[in-house]
Structure 1
Amino acid sequence: MKVLSSILWALTTMLLAGAHSLPYPEHTCVIPASKDGSDDSPAIRKAFDTCGRNGKVVFQKDTTYSIQSVLQLHNLKNVQVDMFGTLEYSTDVRYWILHGSYYYFQNISIAMEFSGENIVIDGHGSGTINGQGQVWYDLALGVGGLYGRPIPFCLRNVKNAVAKNFSILQSGKWNFVMVESQNVLVDNIYLSSTSDDFQANPGNLGNTDGFDTINSDNITIQNSWANVGDDCVSFKPGSTNMHVKNLTCYNSAGIAIGSLGQYEGVRDVVENITAEDVSLYGSRNGAYIKTYVGKRTYWPPQGGGGGNGYVRNVVFKNFHIENITASPVLIQQCTHWAGYNVPACADTPPTGFFSNISWSNFTGYMNEKVGTKAISWTCSPLATCEGFSFKDINVKSANGTDGTYSCTNVVGYNPTCETK
């Protein structure tokens, strides 16, 4: 199964990589920008209405477009988007809270979404999306699930797409999201979300994930760079046949599967995942899996729990980690963000099935302020964790000593991760 999936990824990646441009367009729309600071969204919508099928849409180079209203760019087909210029979002908090494009998972709000098939979005190395996120970091003050924080770029219900060669700066929430999409190549993307107040108040940058996938299949993310305050990549529920390769992440939470089990009674599935050739600098975690507690406490996005499901056929390999502040190899069950009065994990253990998951060739060192735990697998007594493996985990403590291993409720391993 894993071999077949790898072949499919490779074939799809080659096909999509060849689709750098679509056949000669029937129509070309060059989007004008206002000169008086007014909203350019109507002109953008008009361009996609006219040229969004069998056409080309061009954002002009050395031009800044003011985005003051939500962009739902739907029903696209055989379209090339040349994003040479800069798209800059307004800081009208009230507007975005009231008008973002809603998606149920964690009540996310999307500022610009593309939907359709056979879409190429190319920034040609100059295209930039500026979310002006500082206003949201200051407003959220650590409440990652604050409603209305706008996601600046989303591929939603897309089939066959390439997104490449552009930057997303200062995202209001997650940076680059793929929802209910399939057959997507993401190549040479630069992400940066940094807060002016990060050193004094690092919590206010929470939930600025780099790349997120939800209910999507066959996604490749490669040759990209991210400096974000949360997960560099997060494979959320419904993520299948995913491949991450040649990714560099700064100040992130690592490469994550989850969170899973947040919705009571809902079955979450993640399978056939490969993340390789990843460098993490100043990360909280390395490659990890996170699930919610076994009983709902409050409601998403800040609360939740009580779901189930499975994670299987996952490969994490060739990771280099520097200055990590937690464990490079981690599974943590009993995640919660609900605040006070959360029951103990032992009282509400989660369920789930985790199988055929491997971590191999991890190098680097941990932060001097944390312990030496290189591997931390803590599975719930009501979950099944089997087929786990690790090889060549050489992440040292800050003083150069070998990291320690801790395994709980993992089939085939004792508490110090020695095979039984």
Structure 2
Amino acid sequence: MKLFRPVLWALVTALVADTYSLSPPQQTCVIPALKDDRDDAPAIRQAFSKCGNNGKVAFKKNTKYSIQTVLQLHNLKNVQVDMFGTLEYSTDVRYWILHGSYYYFQNISIAMEFSGEDITIDGYGSGTIDGQGQVWHDLALGVGGLYGRPIPFCLRNVKNAVAKNFEILQSGKWNFLMVEFQNILVDNITLSSTSDDFQANPGNLGNTDGFDTINSNNITIQNIWADVGDDCVSFKPGSTNIHVKNLTCYNSAGIAIGSLGQYEGVRDVVENITAEDVSLYGSRNGAYIKTYAGKRFYWPPQGGGNGYVRNVVFKNFHIENITASPVLIQQCTHWAGYNVPACADTPPTGFFSNISWYNFTGYMNEKVGTKAVSWTCSPLATCEGFSFKDINIKSATGANGTYSCTNVDGYDVTCEKTK
């Protein structure tokens, strides 16, 4: 049985909701705020230390909390977090570069992370996390991999959690990260990462992903509104059994699997993924897969890994003003400017099977042409079991979209089936 079937996912979601129901808290800690731009992080740490096990921690409504130091809220168990207020990060670039909570993958730095089990974080429609990201957008100038850019919200090494009903504004990098995770429901989240000069310099928002999953299993992400400068959702290595539904995304790079194969000798796995009922406006891509070249070169690591992607369904997408391909697989990704080996000269980067794109509607930007489907696989990898149906994406002039397939088993260069 395929784990991503909608009926089964409905059952899984219901069971997850029951699993995440917490017992009544034994004690409650209401976090005070200093209100004079002094650091409120010590009071937050103290509240979680006291009430983070079988308790409740509450941020007060209509209250701003100044976050000037890293929050590592670990060893939590059976805790309810009522996030009524606003958590505002400082713009002390030097501090965050030196002190962020480090994770090896792409050298990411985390400003606030929760870990433990049986955690519910509820913003009740008023909770806000403000990353004050403009200072990072100006500093990075489109360099997505700039070290130290802080991720404002992370669930790390967690078992069983719910995160719902809050918003994240102006993240310095990725918005919402789930890493080394088991069982989570993410519901009714708003994300907005914009830049003052986005129209003049849209690349200024590089790497402000909406949701990222790494080495995590059994996740439901639903009822999302996002305006971000990069992937709306990105399923990175180790992402399994994930269901995404009812998303509206503006100015993003689309729904992505990857990047994969970045680290030499590392096996990356992504499987049992469904993304459905997605609307993309002003996106670069629609639903796509990206892997690095199969040979390591330069630094930071840019290839040499392997692995597989299998059992993926993208369906019911509506796309407007897209600037690249709505249906895309792109192997041998690389960072521009380096001496990159030709895709055909690199070892296999992976195995891709049972991947489907269904019911895509909308239109492309006038600058992008007519390519609705673009599958480019390495000649040394395996791409099989691919399918698409009802891809009704038009060019800006109303012309039908065109199809291009390279090294995809069962298809010729125009994506006509050969067997």
Q: Aligning the two structures, in what range does the TM-score lie when normalised by the shorter sequence?
A: over 0.9
> What do the CA deviations read for 1:63-113 (whole angstroms, capped 9, x no partner)?
000000000000000000000000000000000000000001001000000
Query: Equivalents in 1 of 2:385, 2:405: separation in Å?
Result: 13
Secondary structure at the counterpart of residue 135 of structure 1: helix
Contact kept, 8 Å, 1:88 with 1:129, in 2: the verdict is: yes
For 1:339-378, list aligned pairs within 5 A: 339-348=337-346, 350-378=348-376
Contact kept, 8 Å, 2:325 with 2:374, in 1: the verdict is: yes
Query: Equivalents in 1 of 2:21, 2:166: separation in Å?
Result: 15
Aligned to 1:325: 323
Aligned to 1:233: 233
Aligned to 1:53: 53
Are residues 338 and 45 of structure 1, via their aligned partners in 2, closer, same or farther at CA, if it must alter by over 3 Å?
farther
> What do the CA deviations read for 1:222-254 (whole angstroms, capped 9, x no partner)?
001110000000000000000000000000000
Query: Equivalents in 2 of 1:48, 1:207: separation in Å?
Result: 30
Query: Equivalents in 2 of 1:46, 1:306: separation in Å?
Result: 44
Aligned to 1:75: 75
Query: Equivalents in 2 of 1:347, 1:165: separation in Å?
Result: 48
Contact kept, 8 Å, 2:120 with 2:161, in 1: the verdict is: yes
Contact kept, 8 Å, 2:4 with 2:243, in 1: the verdict is: no
Query: Equivalents in 1 of 2:126, 2:320: separation in Å?
Result: 30
Q: Which amino acid aligns with 2:98?
A: L
Query: Equivalents in 2 of 1:58, 1:20: separation in Å?
Result: 19
Query: Equivalents in 2 of 1:215, 1:8: separation in Å?
Result: 22
Query: Equivalents in 2 of 1:254, 1:77: separation in Å?
Result: 35
Query: Equivalents in 1 of 2:408, 2:83: separation in Å?
Result: 48
Query: Equivalents in 1 of 2:251, 2:348: separation in Å?
Result: 29
Indicate the percent of aligned positions where both proteins have the same amino acid. Answer: 86
Query: Equivalents in 2 of 1:125, 1:378: separation in Å?
Result: 43
Cα deviation for residue 363 of structure 1 reads: 0.3
TM-score between the two structures when normalised by the length of structure 2: 0.97
Query: Equivalents in 1 of 2:299, 2:104: separation in Å?
Result: 12
Query: Equivalents in 1 of 2:57, 2:21: separation in Å?
Result: 12
Q: Quick check: 1:91 aligned with 2:109?
A: no
Q: Quick check: 1:316 aligned with 2:314?
A: yes
Contact kept, 8 Å, 1:19 with 1:120, in 2: the verdict is: no
Which of these residues, 331, 335, 338, is aligned with residue 337 of structure 1?
A: 335
Query: Equivalents in 1 of 2:199, 2:20: separation in Å?
Result: 41
Query: Equivalents in 1 of 2:63, 2:21: separation in Å?
Result: 22
Which of these residues, 378, 381, 384, is aligned with residue 382 of structure 2?
A: 384
Aligned to 2:33: 33
Query: Equivalents in 1 of 2:296, 2:130: separation in Å?
Result: 36
> What do the CA deviations read for 1:120-170 (whole angstroms, capped 9, x no partner)?
000000000000000000000111010000000000011110000000000
Cα deviation for residue 348 of structure 1 reads: 2.8
Are residues 80 and 19 of structure 1, via their aligned partners in 2, closer, same or farther at CA, if it must alter by over 3 Å?
farther
Cα deviation for residue 347 of structure 1 reads: 3.1
Are residues 62 and 21 of structure 1, via their aligned partners in 2, closer, same or farther at CA, if it must alter by over 3 Å?
farther
Q: What 5-or-longer segments of structure 1 have no aligned partner?
A: none
Query: Equivalents in 1 of 2:7, 2:25: separation in Å?
Result: 32
> What do the CA deviations read for 1:23-66 (whole angstroms, capped 9, x no partner)?
22101000000022100000000000000000000000000000
Query: Equivalents in 1 of 2:35, 2:209: separation in Å?
Result: 33
TM-score between the two structures when normalised by the length of structure 1: 0.97
For 1:142-181, list aligned pairs within 5 A: 142-181=142-181
Q: Which amino acid aligns with 1:134?
A: Q
Aligned to 2:277: 277
